[in-house]
Amino acid sequence: MKKLIAATLLAGLCIVPATMAMAEEPIKVCIVYTGNLGDKSYNDSCHAGAEKAVEDFGIELKELEGGTADEWKANLLGACEEGYDLIIGASSNIADYITEYGPEYPDTKFAVIDTTVDLPNVESISFAQNQGSFLAGAAAALFTQKTDIEGVNEDHIIGWVGGMDIPVLHDFYTGYEQGAKYVDPDVQILQAFAGEWQNPLKGKELTLAQYDQGADIVMNVASGTGAGVLEGAAETGKYAIGVDLNQDNDQPGSVLTSMVKRVDNACYLVIQSVVDGTFEGGSTQYLDLAVGGVSLTDFSVMREALGDAFPEDIVEQIDELTEKIISGEIVVENYEGFGPQE
């Protein structure tokens, strides 16, 4: 009898910790970035969302950075082999590899941000960056008319500097152009791509070239390369528009506003869906202006820098345009392959 009790106790002792461990085994999430953290832009935004998920759900997080295509592929494959519960491809650059290797790991959940991958174990989250950019373009086109502000010239020319020449950036540009032309049909837009996500020197050189060609405000959509765009603005006393995160304070007084793309929300929500067990592979979420997926900042840093010279009418017009887009009165065009998908 004693033996039996002892054996039961022993067995119980063994089982209880085992089941407890099973219940508390944290969900393992890996994020594969295309570029580095510390870009004060897209990647940092995604990182912020992941950090919040770590705090709220106690997940185990691994982040892999890489600057080149071969690193991205190696990082993704490494993550697949490690056996994570969820692997997040942080940008559209990684989508091709997920399309290629996702089917080989059917038990792994994948998520891809910023584009769509049509696989049963992949959840896609993309943004209406065209809508946010529409507002940014409108703000830029209005701002370049304010010749009484120091550094703004007579020409109605605005600029745009992108990182890599990839489809999602054209979706940005489509909106930017439409927004600018909506408020000023005569505005001219200069466009340039740096070809890299991590080369601020190139970004700065392209920005200075656009200033030389008559632009006085340049929007960056360039992750780390964009730091050079903002630096170029500060150095020459001209203006820039930030992207992804609120970059207004990166070069205070030189950044009119930022087009904030809530990559952090996307990252957080997809992790949450795995934690809650509501993860739906093969589905696509589209975060637009109406649900706060994209927006402009409140111009407060610029208002403080310019004081009385700050053109309040721009803010009013932007608010008006925002309402018109949400109500559907203005339909912002998409680049081919983007937009809400059924």
Partner 1 sequence: MSFFSIMSKVLNLSLIYASFRAATPIIYAALCASVTQQANILNIGTEGIMLIGAFTAVTVSYFTGSWILGVLCAMLAGVVIALIMAVGHIKFGADICGIGMGINMLALAITKFLLKAIYDVNGAFSSPQIKVIPKVSIPFLDNVPVIGTLLNNWSLTEWFAIILIIVLQFFIFKTVWGLRLRAVGQFPEAAKTAGIKVNAVKYRAMAISGLIGGLAGAHLSLGYSSQFIENMTSSRGFMGVAAMYFGGANPVKASIGCLLFGFADSIGARLQAYGLPSQFVLMMPYIVTIVVLAISMAAQLRSAKRRQSSLN
Query: Which residues of the shown chain bind partner 1 in the complex (CB under 8 A)?
Result: 35-39, 65, 67, 159, 165, 188, 190-196, 198-202, 204-206, 208-210, 212-214, 224, 227-228, 231
In the complex, least distance from residue 282 CB atom to partner 1, rounded to whole angstroms: 33
In the complex, least distance from residue 213 CB atom to partner 1, rounded to whole angstroms: 5
The sign of the CA dihedral 138, 142, 144, 149 is negative
Which is nearer to partner 1, 123 or 231 (by Cβ)?
A: 231
In sequence order, what DSSP letters do the residues of 24-84 get, joined into one string?
H-PPEEEEE-SB-S--SSHHHHHHHHHHHHHHHH--EEEEE-BSSHHHHHHHHHHHHHHT-
In the complex, least distance from residue 65 CB atom to partner 1, rounded to whole angstroms: 6
Which is nearer to partner 1, 121 or 251 (by Cβ)?
A: 251
Are 128 and 138 a contacting pair, CB within 8 Å? Answer: no
Which is nearer to partner 1, 157 or 321 (by Cβ)?
A: 157
As a whole number of angstroms, the distance between CA 297 and CA 303 comes to: 12
Output the CA–CA distances (angstroms, integers) from residue 223 to 29, 168, 196, 220, 284, in the order listed.
23, 13, 9, 8, 24
Residue type, position 126, single letter:
S
Which is nearer to partner 1, 47 or 261 (by Cβ)?
A: 47
Which is nearer to partner 1, 85 or 171 (by Cβ)?
A: 171
Instruction: With CA atoms as reference, report the closest residue to 122 among 97, 94, 102, 100.
Output: 102
| CB half-sphere exposure, 305, CA atoms < 13 A | 18
* Helix, coil or strand: residue 336: coil
In the complex, least distance from residue 321 CB atom to partner 1, rounded to whole angstroms: 25
In the complex, least distance from residue 222 CB atom to partner 1, rounded to whole angstroms: 12
| Burial profile 34-55: b = 16 or more Cβ within 10 angstroms, e = fewer | bbeeebbbbbbbbbbbbebbee
Which is nearer to partner 1, 198 or 322 (by Cβ)?
A: 198
Which is nearer to partner 1, 49 or 162 (by Cβ)?
A: 162
In the complex, least distance from residue 165 CB atom to partner 1, rounded to whole angstroms: 5
In the complex, least distance from residue 78 CB atom to partner 1, rounded to whole angstroms: 18
Q: H/E element holding 89?
A: strand 86-89
